[in-house]
Amino acid sequence: MAGRLAQFTAPVADMPEDWKPAWNISPGQRLLILRKVENQLECARVLWNLTPGWLRDLSRTPFSVNAEVMHDKPMFRQPLVERRCLIPVDGYFAWRSQGQRKQPWYLRRRQGGLAIAGIWERYSLDEDTYWDSCALITVPAKGLPERLGYRMPVTLNRAEQAIWLAAATAPSALQPLLLNADSQVDMMYPVNPVMSNPDTLGPHCCAPSGHAITADAPV
């Protein structure tokens, strides 16, 4: 599972003014999403913890949701149909137990970034004040991520990204799209465990501390 993300490459030319590169984003912080607004692609900074407008217990804001149950949960059903987004990342982190400790790994593409499937919501404080939020979507792990754990974020290729964001996509096609998407990760490597502290910032969070494993390497 991905509990940390890296976003240090601008995904579009027209970026939010307050955006800064980040190498160790944790839930509860702000991150970038791409979404369609009036059929135009928009890049926005939102809270990474899904917060629907009706929610009163703000301790119950999820940062991820399982694709298998989205249609059955009221919190996720409507945003799945109406408020889909992509979370553009340079890579994400996952942990693997090694004895008494957990070793963080950084997962990425050798060339280019990743686009994680997500949903977004809007929480209105009053008529003119609101904040937007998001959650990433996970599926059973496959490919390289399967070597680290049971689940992974859904990473979409370019064709799948277009289908995911299109308003015309039939709701019945969304869950199969998520579950059938292959992992776009083709490289991963261990990183310094100091990045497990969410206060640790900077490019060194993504620096290798050991040998990289690639998708074409033998198991």
Q: Decide if 200 is inside a domain.
A: yes
Would the pLDDT of 149 be above 80?
yes
Share the mean pLDDT of the chain: 93
Higher pLDDT, 43 or 53: 43
Q: Are 67 and 138 in contact (CB under 8 A)?
A: yes
Which pLDDT band holds residue 127 (cuts at 50, 70, 90)?
Answer: confident
Q: What DSSP string runs through 99-113?
A: TTEEEEEEEE-SSS-
How many domains is the chain partitioned into structurally?
1
Q: Judge if pTM exceeds 0.85.
A: yes
Q: Decide if 161 is inside a domain.
A: yes
One-letter identity of residue 58: L
- Per-residue model confidence (pLDDT) at position 53: 84
- Per-residue model confidence (pLDDT) at position 212: 96
Q: Decide if 219 is inside a domain.
A: no
Q: Decide if 26 is inside a domain.
A: yes
Q: Are 102 and 138 in contact (CB under 8 A)?
A: no
Which pLDDT band holds residue 215 (cuts at 50, 70, 90)?
Answer: confident
- Say how far apart CA 82 and CA 69 lie, in whole Å: 17
Q: Give the CATH number, domain containing residue 22.
A: 3.90.1680.10
* Vertex 193 angle, CA 189 and 195, to 5°: 95
Q: Decide if 218 is inside a domain.
A: no
- Per-residue model confidence (pLDDT) at position 1: 61
- Per-residue model confidence (pLDDT) at position 219: 59
Would the pLDDT of 137 be above 70?
yes
Q: What DSSP string runs through 168-196?
A: TS-GGGHHHHHHHPPP---EEEEB-GGGG
Domain that holds residue 132: 4-213
Which pLDDT band holds residue 39 (cuts at 50, 70, 90)?
Answer: confident
Mean pLDDT value across residues 29-39: 94
Q: Decide if 135 is inside a domain.
A: yes
Q: How far apart are the first and last CA of the chain?
A: 20
Mean pLDDT value across residues 200-215: 96
Rg of the chain (C-alpha set) = 17
Q: Is the dihedral of CA 109, 111, 113, 114 positive or negative?
A: negative
Would the pLDDT of 41 be above 70?
yes
